[in-house]
Amino acid sequence: QSALTQPPSVSATPGQKVTVSCSGSTSNIGKNYVSWYQQLPEVAPKLLIYDNIKRPSGIPDRFSGSKSGTSATLGITGLQIGDEGTYHCATWDTSLSVWVFGEGTRLTVL
Amino acid sequence: QLQLRESGPGLVKPWETLSLTCNVSGVSVSSRSYYWGWMRQSPGKGLDWIGVIYYKGDTFYNPTLKRRVTIFVDKSKNQFFLNLTSVTAADSGVYFCTRPWDIGSWFDPWGQGTLVTVSS
């Protein structure tokens, strides 16, 4: 069982917006920055969001991150077929001194 | 541009040692303030952090794996390595090398991953 809780799956149609939630605790999300990773089928994870809200260069502004209390959210607007894959949240757990991840959320673009 | 690529045996026998190599290109593995790390992903599961090594050689391991893990660097080959001893089927999965930007921060980039199966 992961320290961070994500919904197993979300789905939407092309062009729509979708959000992926990531719920943690006061010792992880509540105290530390959250990062998000996109893992397309058969491909390595790719950094999408870091420090809760920042996008690395090359990541389109269709992707956004937010954090409130012990939860974080990834938003994707203008959904494309190519966005289908699994999205992982991650942060540091101050009490355990480990990085913790969610189980991943599978995005289906119908 | 920093690129990482894992290599190693795809099949390891139970109770033996899993040894993986991460080849680093585009930057020196001994670059100041750089960390290097290993992750894994069990089939159908999320990502797990295994451990990291600082450019000075300091290591930080996941407590659940600490007794079995060693990460080290070969500066002459610009590579870093993972050894995981006494493996069982639970250690099967895809192993990734990556660069953590600091302890507690994000990971970027990632290698393409290498599949390891523990089986006799």
- Residue A78's CB: how many other CB atoms inside 10 A? 13
Q: Which residues of A touch B104 (CB under 8 A)?
A: 32-33, 91-92, 99
Q: Which residues of B touch A50 (CB under 8 A)?
A: 101, 105-106, 108
Report how far residue B60's alpha carbon sits from residue B12's, in angstroms, rounded to the nearest whole number: 24
Q: Residues B26, B27, B30, CA angle at the centre, nearest 5°?
A: 155
Residue of A nearest to B46 (CA): A103
Residues with pLDDT less than 50, chain A? none
Q: Does B63 touch chain A (CB under 8 A)?
A: yes
pLDDT at B106 over 90: yes
B110/A46 CB distance under 8 A: yes
Nearest to B85 by CA among B113, B56, B37, B50: B50
Nearest to B94 by CA among B118, B72, B120: B118
pLDDT at B105: 94
Which one of A36, A39, A43, A98 would you mutate to disrupt binding with B, by most B Cβ within 10 Å of its Cβ?
Answer: A98
pLDDT at B43: 84
Q: Which residues of B touch A32 (CB under 8 A)?
A: 104
* Average pLDDT estimate for B81-85: 98
A99/B45 CB distance under 8 A: no
Place of tokens 């990834």: A74
pLDDT at B46: 87
Q: Indicate the SS3 state at residue A83.
A: helix
* Bridge-based pairing state of the strands B47-54 and B59-61: antiparallel
Report how far residue B61's alpha carbon sits from residue B59's, in angstroms, rounded to the nearest whole number: 7
Which one of B38, B39, B47 would you mutate to disrupt binding with A, by most A Cβ within 10 Å of its Cβ?
Answer: B47
pLDDT at A2: 78
Give the strands of the sheet with A63-68, arranged side by side: A18-23, A71-76, A63-68
> B69 vs A9, A27, A72, B62, CA distance in Å?
33, 25, 31, 9
A98/B63 CB distance under 8 A: yes
pLDDT at B44 over 90: no
